Amino acid sequence: MLKIAVFGSGAGSNFRAILTAIQQGTIPDARISLVLSNNSGAGILGIARANALPAIHLSQKQFPDEQSFTDAVLSTLRDHDVNFIALAGYMKRVPPPVVAAYRGRIVNIHPALLPRFGGAGMYGIHVHEAVLASGASASGATVHYVDELYDHGQVVMQRTVPVLPGDTPETLASRVLAVEHELYPAAIRRIAENDRTAQEYIHRP
Ligand code: GRF
């Protein structure tokens, strides 16, 4: 069973898509254990509260140094028995000790076809501006494992959308976001299924 912490900073539409898939039984082997945000006013925390899920505001700014913030994140994850992290519009760097503690158990969604259009500075509308400026005929979304480098870890799943004549960064962003809402639940479902299969194999008499 994936016991998921979702980290986000904004509206939380990807989190909503994952939660809906779980509530509808599309991802039988997963549940949401908590939602964590660096932003106390983030929509993603409101969605969690409306669904009676633990909604936790944790920001580096609340702590004197990075170490004490990192310790608070790790103990929060432990207290809620989290074994998997899904970043969904989380605008902060995940502290390296958290990445290390959850290696192979932490994923992110990026609004382009990695490895192109990823890395430092490639977030939000900047990604779509760069895609249009490149003249690419397609864009899309990528779910990938998280390592210490931005947008770098192994790809779990990708989905493509066309770039259309007359696209603006905003029209492309909304076409990509619609696909993200299908892709992220599908990727988590695949990971949860693989986990279950591995557990059954390990526990077979
Ligand atoms: C998405 O476009 C995601 O790819 C990016 O941030 C955005 C989050 O949107 N990392 P939301 O908060 O899930 O609505």
HSE of 175, CA atoms in CB hemisphere, 13 A: 17
What spacing in Å lies between the alpha carbon of 14 and ligand 1's midpoint? 6
Rounded to the nearest integer, the mean pLDDT of the chain is 96
Nearest atom within ligand 1 for CA of residue 173: 2
Q: Which of 41-45, 69-73, 120-124 has the lowest mean pLDDT?
A: 120-124
Q: How confident is the model at residue 201 (pLDDT cuts 50, 70, 90)?
A: confident
Q: Which one from 57, 80, 110, 203 is the annotated catalytic residue?
A: 110
pLDDT at 205: 64
Rounded to two decimals, the pTM is: 0.96
- Buried b / exposed e over 102-111, threshold 16 CB at 10 Å, is beebbbbbbb
Tell which one of 180, 181, 182, 184 to mutate to probe ligand 1, the residue whose CB is within 8 A of the most ligand atoms: 180
Residues lining ligand 1, Cβ inside 6 A: 8, 10-14, 88-89, 109-111, 177, 180
- Identify whether 110 is a catalytic site residue: yes
- Look at residues 125, 148, 95 and name the one whose alpha carbon lies nearest to residue 10: 125
User: Over the stretch 9-58, which tens digit does the pLDDT of each residue have?
Assistant: 999 999 999 999 999 999 999 999 999 999 999 999 999 999 999 999 99
Q: Which residues contact 61 (CB under 8 A, 6 or more apart)?
A: none
